[in-house]
Amino acid sequence: MDRFLAISPQSQFWLFNTALALNILGMVLTDMWLPMVVGAIVTTYLSVDALVRLRYVLPMKKEIRELRHELDKAHRQLRDTYRDDD
C-alpha cells in the first residue's frame, strides 16, 4: 500500500490508466507486440490495484481508524465509570 508515496492515490489511478491507454495505442500503431503486451499486462495490474486501493482500501482504513477511536473512547468512559464507583 505504501509503495508510491510521492503522489496521491487519485493521481496514481489517473497515471496508470493513462499509461494503459498509451500502451494500447502503442500496440495498435507499432509492430512491437511482445513489449507492448507485457507493458499492457503490467499497467492493467497497476490500474486495477490503484482502483481497488482508491475505492475500497483507503475508505476501509478510514472507517477502521474511526471505529478504533470510538472504541478507545468507550474504554475510557468504562474505566472512568468503574473508578467513580470505587
Report the greatest alpha carbon distance in the chain: 81
In whole angstroms, what is the distance from residue 20 CA to residue 26 CA? 10
Checking if the pLDDT of 2 tops 80, the result is no
For the chain, give percent helix, strand, coil, nearest 5: 85, 0, 15
Nearest-angstrom CA–CA distance, 24 and 74: 53
Whether 1 has a pLDDT exceeding 50, the answer reads no
Query: What is the spatial distance between Cα 49 and Cα 55, in angstroms, rounded to a whole number?
Result: 10
Q: What is the pTM of this model?
A: 0.74
What is the spatial distance between Cα 36 and Cα 41, in angstroms, rounded to a whole number? Answer: 9
Summarised one tens digit per residue, pLDDT across range 3-60 is 667 888 899 999 999 999 999 999 989 888 888 999 999 999 999 999 999 999 999 9
